[in-house]
């Protein structure tokens, strides 16, 4: 059983994020043939992961080889593996584990800016997976001392990633995103056995959980206040006036505040929508008069449960 190449591409752009070749697995007499074969499929693979492609093929057979393409939508990445055709079942077993590795490093993948060395941290974990949990690599056994030395080198890469994540944590505003970064930081701290980092992360997590609880309460309160103002207007509308003619200052203030708070829950799209809707309540441009009741009803239909607005 043999794997020849593993590539990680950026979905849509087709930019290569990470690659590993195992040319030592190719017999000398096949090396020239395989090089020609790979050149022929390289552009095809790039097209496969680009947004212009409408192909959804997962396994592509080419002669004695198989190309497995697995998309990870949340990371905006595609894993492409070239292996012997006989390895399809083994590939299906190992790919979810490779996806797990990538998710553990989600932040550096999703925010990748072309810095090549940043993704070198993936080397160790992916190779360890292939070496210890599959029959896809034909590699010689390494001693415990060699394994310790390899991990010491990996610790340096982990700490660089940790520092990157720490900087990202300070810049990111949305609580679910901050918590996801914190989880990645904690994993690294545990891997390198840094008890001080672990303690600081736990303290930070407690503060964030407390802040998150307060945020959720504010989301509920602001939405309830906005709805109450609208509901009161529905009840007290005089015969001589329409809903459009009544005052919505309190609804505007609370809906605007609600929208800004759900932005901190990661719900950017909905936040932008209701900031615009809130402004309509105070500006009331004449062209929305016929649809004004529907706009109010849309606000009244918003879920009361603040958990519904969390986007991870």
DSSP letter at 306 equals G
CA 271 to CA 281: how far, in whole Å? 16
12: left (phi over 0), alpha (psi -120 to 50) or beta: left
| Domain annotation covers residue 206 | no
Range of the domain at 239: 215-309
Most confident of 125-139, 140-154, 221-235: 221-235
Tally of domains in the chain = 2
Residue 262: per-residue pLDDT: 98
In contact, 20 and 126? CB cutoff 8 Å:
yes
Residue 20: per-residue pLDDT: 87
User: Residues for the chain: how many in total?
Assistant: 312
- Greater pLDDT, 146 or 310: 310
Residue 22: per-residue pLDDT: 76
Using alpha carbons, select from 84, 66, 80, 88 the residue that is nearest to residue 30: 84
Q: What is the mean pLDDT of residues 10-26?
A: 78
CA 176 to CA 171: how far, in whole Å? 13
| Domain annotation covers residue 256 | yes
SS3 of 78, please?
strand
> Are 238 and 130 in a shared domain?
no
**Measured between alpha carbons, how far is residue 115 from residues 51, 122, 124, 160 in Å?**
23, 14, 18, 13
Q: What is the mean pLDDT of residues 77-102?
A: 88
Q: Each residue of 244-283: pLDDT tens digit?
A: 999 999 999 999 999 999 999 999 999 999 999 999 999 9
CA 100 to CA 105: how far, in whole Å? 9
Check whether 33 has a pLDDT greater than 60: no
- Greater pLDDT, 123 or 147: 123
* Cβ within 8 Å of residue 11, ≥6 positions away: 49, 51, 71, 73, 76, 77, 78
- How much of the chain, in percent, has pLDDT values that exceed 70? 84
Residue 130: per-residue pLDDT: 85
| Domain annotation covers residue 45 | yes
Residue 112 in tokens = 């990748």
Domain boundary among 140, 175, 196: 140
| Domain annotation covers residue 204 | no
Residue 48: per-residue pLDDT: 63
CA 123 to CA 131: how far, in whole Å? 12
Residue 89: per-residue pLDDT: 84
| Domain annotation covers residue 176 | no
* pTM for the whole structure: 0.84
Using alpha carbons, select from 234, 215, 211, 212 the residue that is nearest to residue 223: 215
CA 139 to CA 135: how far, in whole Å? 10
Q: Each residue of 167-216: pLDDT tens digit?
A: 999 999 999 999 999 999 999 999 999 999 999 999 999 999 999 999 99
Q: What is the mean pLDDT of residues 46-63?
A: 61
Q: What is the CATH number of the domain that holds 40?
A: 3.30.450.70
> Are 37 and 132 in a shared domain?
yes
Q: What is the mean pLDDT of residues 85-101?
A: 88
Residue 55: per-residue pLDDT: 47
Using alpha carbons, select from 34, 98, 99 the residue that is nearest to residue 64: 34
Strands of the sheet containing 59-62, edge to edge, are 16-21, 3-10, 77-84, 65-72, 59-62
Residue 56: per-residue pLDDT: 47
CA 262 to CA 306: how far, in whole Å? 8
**How are beta strands 3-10 and 77-84 bridged, if at all?**
antiparallel
| Domain annotation covers residue 183 | no
The region of weakest confidence among 100-114, 171-185, 214-228, 236-250 is 236-250
Residue 54: per-residue pLDDT: 46
Domain boundary among 92, 115, 140: 140
In contact, 251 and 226? CB cutoff 8 Å:
yes
Q: What is the DSSP string of 202-255?
A: HHHHHHHHHHHHHHHHHHHHHHHHHHHHHHHHHHH--TT--GGGS--HHHHHHH
Check whether 24 has a pLDDT greater than 90: no
Question: What element of type H or E holds 24?
Answer: none
- Greater pLDDT, 57 or 279: 279
Q: What is the mean pLDDT of residues 230-247?
A: 85
CA 41 to CA 53: how far, in whole Å? 15
| Domain annotation covers residue 295 | yes
Residue 85: per-residue pLDDT: 83
Domain boundary among 107, 122, 140: 140
Check whether 135 has a pLDDT greater than 90: no
């Amino acid at each position: 059983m043999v794997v020849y190449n593993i590539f990680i591409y950026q979905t849509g752009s087709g930019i290569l994020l990470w690659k590993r070749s195992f040319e030592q697995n190719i017999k000398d007499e096949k090396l020239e043939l395989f090089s020609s074969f790979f050149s022929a499929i390289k552009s095809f693979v790039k097209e496969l992961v680009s947004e212009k492609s409408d192909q959804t093929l997962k396994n592509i057979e080419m002669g004695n080889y198989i190309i497995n393409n697995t998309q990870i939508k949340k990371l905006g990445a595609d894993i492409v593996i070239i292996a012997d055709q006989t390895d399809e079942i083994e590939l299906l077993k190992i790919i979810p584990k490779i996806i797990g590795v990538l998710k553990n490093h989600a932040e550096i993948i999703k925010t990748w800016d072309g810095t090549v060395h940043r993704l070198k941290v993936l080397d160790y974990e992916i190779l360890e997976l292939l070496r210890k949990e599959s029959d896809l690599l034909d590699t010689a056994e390494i001693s415990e001392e060699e394994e310790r030395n390899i991990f010491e080198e990996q610790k340096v890469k982990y700490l660089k990633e940790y520092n990157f994540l720490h900087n990202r944590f300070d810049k990111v505003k949305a609580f679910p995103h901050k918590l996801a970064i914190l989880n990645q930081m904690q994993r690294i701290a545990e891997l390198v056995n840094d008890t001080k980092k672990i303690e600081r992360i736990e303290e930070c997590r407690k503060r964030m959980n407390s802040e998150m609880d307060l945020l959720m309460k504010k989301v509920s309160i602001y939405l309830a206040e906005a709805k109450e103002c609208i509901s009161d207007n529905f009840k007290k509308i005089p015969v001589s006036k329409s809903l459009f003619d009544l005052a919505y200052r309190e609804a505007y203030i609370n809906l605007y505040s609600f929208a800004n708070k759900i932005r901190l829950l990661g719900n950017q799209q909905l936040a932008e929508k209701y900031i615009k809707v809130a402004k309509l309540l105070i500006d009331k441009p004449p062209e929305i008069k016929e649809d004004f009741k529907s706009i109010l009803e849309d606000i009244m239909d918003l879920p009361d449960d603040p958990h519904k607005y969390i986007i991870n």
